[in-house]
């Protein structure tokens, strides 16, 4: 990190924790209160561009409209070029992408324990006719407490503004059919992507290849129309049947045949977890993190989180070598 960035506004920079196309995310300390926060700094080259400032403003306005314990809250902001930034709660844990990389793949009931929390966050958005529109493994955070959070609301928009799209947006590997076609992006589009994430976390590989929309749209859509669920990594036949029933209601090519919003998805996942004895999803996540040697000091009573967890085989070597 350059010497110039020891402080930004009223915040002392501790370390760089992430970087994307629009800017960098730092772990920082509020100089007045001492609170540890996450500071998202817009790249200086975009600081006077109204289009990119609009992205930051959209995220800020979303947080003024919606508040939920599964949505990372915004604490402060500054829109004074060249330093334009948003300050949010610092989640002491890992991005979903890092969790997948560490474990390769995860027990189905632990995955559902994460996603029932994310569905609750989506429900808060969907209740206000908002669509996240850019869900991915990088935009889900897993705290050491076992809590799961949604983050990065730079593309979050109300349903009416997504009726017409001027270009393809989203993250390769995490598109819904609506992201790639003229069909409007809706809450059911978010549900589709959560289905992709559930499959990826259980199997360790993406259900739809991470091809770039626009250049390879036809190929991606072809994969979407010909999804095969035969390789689901789960050894419990009853759980396999329930998972496939859930997934078919999430990644159906027609949005009208999916769960229509986060509330209905959350109910379905919660029912499934309780059926298999998972009463406390947050505790189930902590148990798995602790067993997997990710540093967490939280102690929880054990639950049967490994039901259906397929042992690693030689086929899983690429997942282990990717760490």
User: Mean per-residue pLDDT for 167-184?
Assistant: 88
Percentage of the chain modeled with pLDDT above 70: 89
| Mean pLDDT of the chain, nearest integer | 88
Residue 3 has pLDDT above 60, yes or no: no
- Where do you find CATH 1.10.510.10 in the chain? 93-317
The token pair that represents 217 in the structure block = 């749209």
Task: Decide: 93 and 141 in contact? Cβ < 8 Å.
Answer: yes
**Cα–Cα distance measured from residue 301 to residue 260, given in angstroms and rounded to the nearest whole number:** 34
User: Mean per-residue pLDDT for 157-164?
Assistant: 74
> Which has more pLDDT, 199 or 24?
199
Question: Per 3-state DSSP, what percentage of the chain is helix, strand, and coil (rounded to 5)?
Answer: 40, 15, 40
DSSP three-state, residue 267:
helix
- Where do you find CATH 3.30.200.20 in the chain? 3-89
User: Mean per-residue pLDDT for 202-215?
Assistant: 85
**Cα–Cα distance measured from residue 235 to residue 176, given in angstroms and rounded to the nearest whole number:** 28
Task: Decide: 316 and 116 in contact? Cβ < 8 Å.
Answer: no
Bridge pairing between strands 23-30 and 130-131 = unpaired
User: Mean per-residue pLDDT for 261-279?
Assistant: 98
**Cα–Cα distance measured from residue 18 to residue 25, given in angstroms and rounded to the nearest whole number:** 5
Ranking 85-99, 136-150, 208-222, 301-315 by mean pLDDT, the lowest is 208-222
pTM over 0.95: no
Residue 255 has pLDDT above 90, yes or no: yes
| pLDDT classification of 164: cutoffs 50, 70, 90 | low
How far lies 287's CA from each of 38, 54, 109, in Å? Answer: 26, 41, 12
By CB neighbour count within 10 A (0-12 exposed, 13-18 middle, 19+ buried), where does 84 fall? buried
Question: What is the model's pLDDT at position 292?
Answer: 75
Length of the chain, in residues: 323
Taking every pair of Cα atoms in the chain, the longest distance, rounded to a whole number of angstroms, is: 58
Domain 3-89 has CATH 1.10.510.10: no
Architecture of domain 93-317: Orthogonal Bundle (1.10)
Beta-carbon count within 10 A of 237 CB: 9
Question: What is the model's pLDDT at position 113?
Answer: 98
Ranking 52-66, 184-198, 279-293, 299-313 by mean pLDDT, the lowest is 52-66
Residue 1 has pLDDT above 50, yes or no: no
**Cα–Cα distance measured from residue 19 to residue 58, given in angstroms and rounded to the nearest whole number:** 19
**Cα–Cα distance measured from residue 275 to residue 271, given in angstroms and rounded to the nearest whole number:** 6
How far lies 305's CA from each of 115, 252, 291, in Å? Answer: 14, 27, 11
């Amino acid at each position: 990190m350059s010497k110039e960035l020891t402080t930004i506004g009223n915040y002392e920079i501790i370390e760089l924790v992430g970087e994307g196309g629009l800017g960098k995310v730092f772990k920082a300390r509020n100089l007045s209160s001492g609170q540890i926060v996450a500071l998202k700094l817009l790249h200086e080259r975009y600081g006077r561009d109204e289009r990119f400032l609009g992205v930051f403003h959209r995220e800020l306005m979303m947080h003024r409209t919606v508040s939920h314990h599964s949505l990372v809250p915004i604490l402060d902001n500054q829109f004074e070029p060249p330093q334009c930034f948003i300050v949010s709660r610092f989640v002491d844990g890992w991005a979903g992408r890092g969790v997948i990389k560490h474990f390769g793949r995860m027990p189905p009931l632990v995955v559902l324990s994460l996603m029932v929390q994310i569905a609750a966050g989506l429900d808060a958005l969907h209740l206000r006719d908002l669509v996240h529109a850019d869900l991915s493994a990088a935009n889900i955070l897993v705290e050491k407490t076992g809590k799961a959070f949604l983050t990065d609301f730079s593309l979050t928009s109300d349903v009416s503004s997504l009726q017409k799209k001027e270009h393809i947006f989203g993250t390769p590997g995490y598109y819904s059919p609506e992201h790639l076609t003229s069909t409007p992006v809706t809450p059911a589009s978010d549900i589709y992507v959560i289905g992709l994430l559930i499959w990826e976390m259980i199997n360790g590989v993406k259900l739809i290849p991470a091809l770039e929309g626009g250049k390879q749209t036809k190929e991606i859509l072809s994969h979407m129309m010909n999804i095969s669920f035969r390789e689901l990594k789960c050894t419990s036949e009853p759980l396999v049947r329930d998972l496939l029933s859930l997934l078919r209601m999430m990644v159906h090519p027609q949005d009208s045949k999916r769960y229509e919003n986060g509330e209905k998805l959350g109910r379905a996942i919660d029912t499934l977890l309780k059926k298999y004895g998972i009463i406390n999803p947050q505790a189930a996540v902590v148990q798995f993190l602790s067993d997997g040697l990710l540093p967490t000091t939280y102690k929880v009573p054990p639950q049967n989180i490994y039901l259906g967890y397929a042992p690693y085989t030689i086929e899983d070597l690429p997942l282990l070598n990717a760490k």
